[in-house]
């Protein structure tokens, strides 16, 4: 398996420490709001990584944290507490917010056919682990106490800047806006391991500790959960590119300080999905979440297909035009696959040949576009029978997870499309009745962009789906 490693900045051969078993750690969401589709792109890329490894016969032990405490609006411990902000926004408790958005996240994952990690752990459930690690770091002088808080001293870390590959001056310029002056720190990049002097009076989640009542910093949560559930080593650690600095940099510093040896040699980072403004944010009321796409008539798997057409290391710009193209191509692809006859025998020579090409696409730094091309190549291949084609695509779909071979799924999709169009026709009729012809035309064009043509007849409006 060849994979890009952020640590070495190269595509290189990946080998786990124990043959055949991959210990995979993936940073999870901060559950203060719904995930935006950018966040979901990262989880889709990680899902392809897990399933790609499984296709190559590795056993994958995947761990994910759920951050329900300690994450500030700035990743460098500054700003407001994200969970408190969420609770205030909705007039609920932090616990209610955490539970609600954890469920929403898991539901998004399911809709996107993302395999649920074997181990999902709430950050707030492992306080004793963080305390034990922090005590050891204090003992070994990697950490210091200042004004009631415990900080990690980055000057003590070996190669603190190795993951980002940048020097401190450049990093300081890059994060100037987010690194708040904290007089308690010795160095601007030192980071909080435990806070007792919270800026937030109404901090809800607090625990007793040797340094007073307080709460853990965001970074220690991932190191703690990774060490507790995966042991002394992680084979691949994942996240979005924004996690490289400071989050993953700090995870390496504290995990290695605690363990006393190098911790994870392979770092996998998904590039961002941005909207037309150049970034993706949750600050506007109506941000791009999965349910917004669903309300507009797209299925979560249309979005998954849209993501898979690009390489996980390329920044992607979201647009409804591109999503329309993905939706239409996926529908056509599914129809072709579902029209294949299931009779006959699998031609095992041809089957094996295509399975190895697919494995090569996985090994080629998870080239999802190449994987999709192989699906089309199989369909076009005049030398193989339908049964072989169907079984091959069924096998590829263990990685792509686009429900390519699920017959009942197509019926469900057709039914959903029918209901969506009928709802739109009704809305258009109401607009016409109230003489809002601009809205009526808008709805007609909105549907046309999705290849749905309306025909007004004497008996009412009918529709056709055009290819
Ligand atoms: P958060 O819930 O903010 O901790 O982020 C969850 C995951 O989404 C992290 O792995 C981030 O690196 C990733 N992420 C954040 N913004 C984007 C984006 N625009 N595109 C892709 N991934 C993102
Ligand atoms: Zn993390």
Chain-centre distance for alpha carbon 296? 22
Chain-centre distance for alpha carbon 249? 19
Mean pLDDT of 196-212: 80
Q: Residue 342 phi/psi, 5° resolution?
A: -95, 10
- Name the average pLDDT for the chain: 92
Highest mean pLDDT among 48-57, 176-185, 276-285: 48-57
Distance from residue 276's CA to the centre of ligand 2 (Å): 27
117, containing H or E segment: none
Distance from residue 409's CA to the centre of ligand 2 (Å): 35
Indicate if 318-405 has the same CATH topology as 2-275: no
- Give the residue whose CA is nearest to atom 14 of ligand 1: 39
Q: Residue 120 phi/psi, 5° resolution?
A: -120, 120
In this predicted structure, what is the pLDDT of residue 235?
A: 98
Read off the tokens for 13.
């051969």
How many angstroms separate the Cα of 94 from the Cα of each of 102, 257, 354, 407? 12, 32, 50, 42
Q: Rounded CA gap, 303 and 220, in Å?
A: 33
In this predicted structure, what is the pLDDT of residue 76?
A: 62
How many angstroms separate the Cα of 212 from the Cα of each of 141, 200, 390? 19, 16, 62
Mean pLDDT of 175-191: 75
- The alpha carbon dihedral of 229, 218, 27, 33 has a sign of positive
- Of ligand 1's atoms, which has the minimum distance to the CA of residue 67? 4
Q: In 3D, which of 314, 69, 111 has the Cα closest to residue 204?
A: 69
CB 299 within 8 A of CB 331: no
Read off the tokens for 157.
């870390």
- The alpha carbon dihedral of 168, 173, 177, 183 has a sign of positive
Distance from residue 39's CA to the centre of ligand 1 (Å): 4
Q: In 3D, which of 46, 57, 45, 56 has the Cα closest to residue 2?
A: 56
CATH code that applies to domain 318-405: 1.20.120.1910
For the segment 378-399, what is each residue's pLDDT rounded down to a tens digit?
999 999 999 999 999 999 999 9
* Ligand minimally distant from the alpha carbon of residue 239: 1
Residue 428 pLDDT > 60: yes
Residue 273 pLDDT > 70: yes
Q: Rounded CA gap, 338 and 405, in Å?
A: 6
Single pTM value for the model: 0.88
User: Is the shortest distance between the CB of 28 and ligand 1 below 6 Å?
Assistant: no
CB 39 within 8 A of CB 78: no
User: Is the shortest distance between the CB of 39 and ligand 1 below 6 Å?
Assistant: yes
Give the CB-side neighbour count of residue 128, counting CA atoms within 13 A: 1
Class of domain 2-275 as given by CATH: alpha beta
What does the domain layout of the chain look like in residue ranges? Answer: 2-275, 318-405, 409-465
For the segment 16-40, what is each residue's pLDDT rounded down to a tens digit?
999 999 999 999 999 999 999 999 9
């Amino acid at each position: 398996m060849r994979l890009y490693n952020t640590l070495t900045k190269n595509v290189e051969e990946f080998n786990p420490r124990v043959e055949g078993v991959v210990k995979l750690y993936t940073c999870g969401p901060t559950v203060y709001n719904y995930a935006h589709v950018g966040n979901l792109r990262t989880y889709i890329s990680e899902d392809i990584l897990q399933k790609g490894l499984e296709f190559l016969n590795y056993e994958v032990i995947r761990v994910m944290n759920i951050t329900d405490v300690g994450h500030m609006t700035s990743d460098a411990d500054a700003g407001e507490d994200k969970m408190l902000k969420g609770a205030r926004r909705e007039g609920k408790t932090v616990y209610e917010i955490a539970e609600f958005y954890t469920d929403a996240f898991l539901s998004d994952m399911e809709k996107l056919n993302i395999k649920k990690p074997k181990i999902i752990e709430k950050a707030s459930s492992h306080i004793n682990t963080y305390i034990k690690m922090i005590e050891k770091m204090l003992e070994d002088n990697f950490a210091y106490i200042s004004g009631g808080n415990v900080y990690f001293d980055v000057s003590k870390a070996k190669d603190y800047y190795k993951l980002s590959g940048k020097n401190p001056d450049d990093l300081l310029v890059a994060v100037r806006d987010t690194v708040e002056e904290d007089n308690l720190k010795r160095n601007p990049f030192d980071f909080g391991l435990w806070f007792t002097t919270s800026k937030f009076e109404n901090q809800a989640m607090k625990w007793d500790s040797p340094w007073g009542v307080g709460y853990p910093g965001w970074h220690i949560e991932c190191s703690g959960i990774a060490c507790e559930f995966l042991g002394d080593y992680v084979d691949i650690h994942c996240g979005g590119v924004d996690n490289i600095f400071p989050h993953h940099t700090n995870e390496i510093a504290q995990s290695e300080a605690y363990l006393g040896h190098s911790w994870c040699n392979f770092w996998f980072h998904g590039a961002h999905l941005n909207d037309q403004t150049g970034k993706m944010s949750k600050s506007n009321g109506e941000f791009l979440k999965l349910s917004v796409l669903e309300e507009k008539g797209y299925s979560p798997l249309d979005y998954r297909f849209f993501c898979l057409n690009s390489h996980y290391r390329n920044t992607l710009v979201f647009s409804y035009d591109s999503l329309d193209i993905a939706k239409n191509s996926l529908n056509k692809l599914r129809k072709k696959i579902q029209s294949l006859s299931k009779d006959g025998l699998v031609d095992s020579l041809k089957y094996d040949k295509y399975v190895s090409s697919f494995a090569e696409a996985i090994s080629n730094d998870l080239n999802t576009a190449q994987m999709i091309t192989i699906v089309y190549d199989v369909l076009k291949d005049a030398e193989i029978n339908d049964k072989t084609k169907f079984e091959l695509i069924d096998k590829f779909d263990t990685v792509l997870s686009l429900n390519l071979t699920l017959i009942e799924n197509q019926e469900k999709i057709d039914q959903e499309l029918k209901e969506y169009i009928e709802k739109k026709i009704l809305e258009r009729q109401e607009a016409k009745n109230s003489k809002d012809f601009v809205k009526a035309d808008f709805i007609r064009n909105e549907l046309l962009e999705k290849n749905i043509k309306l025909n007004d007849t004497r008996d009412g409006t009918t529709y056709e789906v055009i290819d």
